[in-house]
């Protein structure tokens, strides 16, 4: 460990400096563990930011990817794709919606959702989103992400968005005008700190959308694919959105995004109206088809059980530096009081062989893979307790 510190990390100036990176490079992964260039082993409690839900080098996923890679990398969306069809059927069955469009990332999925809503709106174009929301970095989804720090220097934003406080239904109602076509929300705000809304929030927003003939777009890019202990986080409520966007965990680490929508919206997306060269790439789709098969009731139950255990154990530490512990399933935020820096905790965890994330103001973000065991949770707790009590 101390050797690690003395190692001088030389980073090529050829790389743009838009990321602040830890001085660690991982070169191998196996299950819930990562290994760096020195062979040091780390417990992965971040999953590449809610991406590698089934861990690293999962045998079934790796086999499916290898098999597809040896057959065909890419042909474009000018041709039939039975892999995409199978995956689309699975997503339709899980969501209760009708049609699927594939792209490569979360921001692209949200761009498509914005376009789909406008197309359906036939002149209505404005979308209400929540302050603190995160929907991506390209101009449309950036404009949907109501956070000044993301906008700095990138004005003018795409017109047609209005912003309301999260977890405030009345604010949405007051913001509706003749141009409004949709409401777009994360069911739990991920990037801004694992903010869980009150229980009826999504239900009430859905009611409001139905009353005003607005689409309800749910951004499940981070919360989806089993992360919260349901296939989609909105399924904790008794609602059906009109559009769902997915990416992160969908293909366990290969770039794949998806938009699932109702047939009433799909109706307007005629040939040529939208598209993507790489979207639904055969290798990413082969991986996602295995992911969907692995995401069964047993997996969901385990995510809920282990998530509750992790939350309860952190809560019961009764540590004076912890302000709150929140989240659903294996999407957990630990908010610290301002005297303890989350960045410092994450850095010290890393030094002690645990990878965790940060989010929002002062929140440690825990997104362990679904294959985690009780023993690994205990291992995490041991390191975590040691660091916050130091
Ligand atoms: C990560 C994220 C995105 C953006 O996904 P990218 O693949 O990085 O473009 C969008 N929405 C939510 C909720 C996210 O967490």
Domain ranges within the chain, ordered by starting residue: 61-294, 297-374
Contact indicator for 57, 30 with CB cutoff of 8 Å: yes
CB neighbours (10 Å) of residue 14? 5
**pLDDT, tens digit (0-9, with 9 covering 90-100), for 205-259:** 999 999 999 999 999 999 999 999 999 999 999 899 999 999 999 999 999 999 9
CATH code 3.90.1150.10 for 297-374:
yes
Whether 311 shows a pLDDT value over 50: the answer reads yes
In the prediction, which pLDDT does 7 show?
54
Per-residue confidence at 11, pLDDT binned at 50, 70, 90? confident
Say whether pLDDT at 2 is over 80: no
Interatomic CA distance for residues 320 and 337, integer angstroms: 8
Atom of ligand 1 nearest to the CA of 104: 7
pLDDT tens digits along 47-76: 999 999 999 999 999 999 999 999 999 999
Give the strands of the sheet with 126-130, arranged side by side. 99-103, 257-261, 243-246, 215-219, 180-185, 126-130, 161-164
The whole-model pTM stands at 0.97
Q: Whose CA is nearest to atom 11 of ligand 1?
A: 135
In angstroms, what is the span from residue 106 Cα to ligand 1's centroid? 4
Ligand 1 centre distance from Cα of residue 107 (Å):
6
Question: 104 with 278: CB under 8 angstroms?
Answer: yes
Instruction: Evaluate if residue 8 carries a pLDDT over 80.
Output: no
What kind of architecture, by CATH, is found in domain 61-294? 3-Layer(aba) Sandwich (3.40)
* Dihedral pair phi/psi, residue 357, rounded to 5°: -110, 175
| Residue to probe by mutation, ligand 1, list 186, 224, 247, 331, most atoms within 8 Å of CB | 247
User: CB atoms < 10 A from the CB of 337, how many?
Assistant: 12
State the distance from the centre of ligand 1 to the C-alpha of 301, rounded, in angstroms. Answer: 25
Active-site amino acid positions: 134, 219, 248
Q: What pLDDT does residue 339 have?
A: 82
Question: Which of 281-295, 300-314, 337-351 is predicted with the least confidence, judged by mean pLDDT?
Answer: 337-351
**Closest ligand 1 atom, CA of 141?**
10
């Amino acid at each position: 460990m101390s050797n690690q510190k003395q190692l001088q990390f030389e980073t090529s100036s050829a790389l743009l400096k838009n990321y602040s990176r830890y001085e660690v490079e991982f070169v191998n992964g196996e299950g819930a563990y990562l290994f760096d260039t020195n062979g040091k082993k780390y417990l992965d409690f971040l999953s590449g930011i809610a991406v590698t839900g089934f861990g690293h080098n999962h045998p079934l996923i790796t086999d499916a990817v290898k098999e597809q890679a040896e057959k065909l990398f890419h042909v474009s969306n000018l041709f039939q794709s039975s892999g995409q069809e199978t995956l689309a059927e699975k997503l339709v069955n899980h969501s209760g919606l009708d049609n699927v469009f594939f792209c490569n990332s979360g921001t692209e999925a949200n761009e498509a959702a914005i376009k789909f809503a406008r197309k359906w709106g036939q002149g209505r174009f404005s979308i209400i989103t929540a302050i603190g929301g995160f929907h991506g970095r390209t101009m449309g989804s950036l404009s949907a992400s109501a956070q000044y720090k993301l906008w700095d220097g990138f004005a003018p934003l795409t017109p047609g968005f209005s912003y309301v406080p999260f977890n405030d239904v009345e604010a949405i109602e007051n913001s509706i005008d003749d141009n409004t076509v949709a409401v777009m929300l994360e069911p739990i705000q991920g990037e801004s700190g694992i903010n869980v809304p009150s229980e009826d929030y999504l239900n009430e927003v859905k009611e409001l959308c139905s009353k005003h003939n607005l689409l309800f777009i749910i951004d499940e890019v981070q919360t989806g694919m089993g992360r919260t202990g349901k296939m989609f986080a909105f399924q904790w409520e008794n609602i059906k959105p009109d559009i769902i966007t997915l990416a992160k965990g969908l293909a366990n680490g290969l770039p794949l995004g998806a938009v699932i929508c109702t047939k009433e919206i799909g109706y307007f997306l005629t040939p040529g109206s939208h598209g993507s060269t790489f979207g639904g790439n055969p290798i990413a789709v082969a991986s996602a088809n295995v992911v969907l098969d692995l995401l069964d009731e047993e997996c969901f139950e385990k995510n809920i059980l282990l998530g509750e255990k992790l939350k309860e154990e952190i809560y019961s530490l009764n540590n004076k530096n912890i302000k709150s512990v929140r989240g659903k399933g294996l999407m957990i935020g630990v908010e610290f009081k301002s005297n303890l820096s989350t960045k410092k905790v994450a850095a010290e965890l890393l030094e002690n062989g645990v990878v965790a994330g940060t989010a929002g103001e002062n929140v440690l973000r825990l997104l362990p893979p679904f294959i985690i065991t009780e023993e690994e949770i205990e291992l995490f707790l041991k390191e975590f307790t040691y660091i916050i009590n130091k």
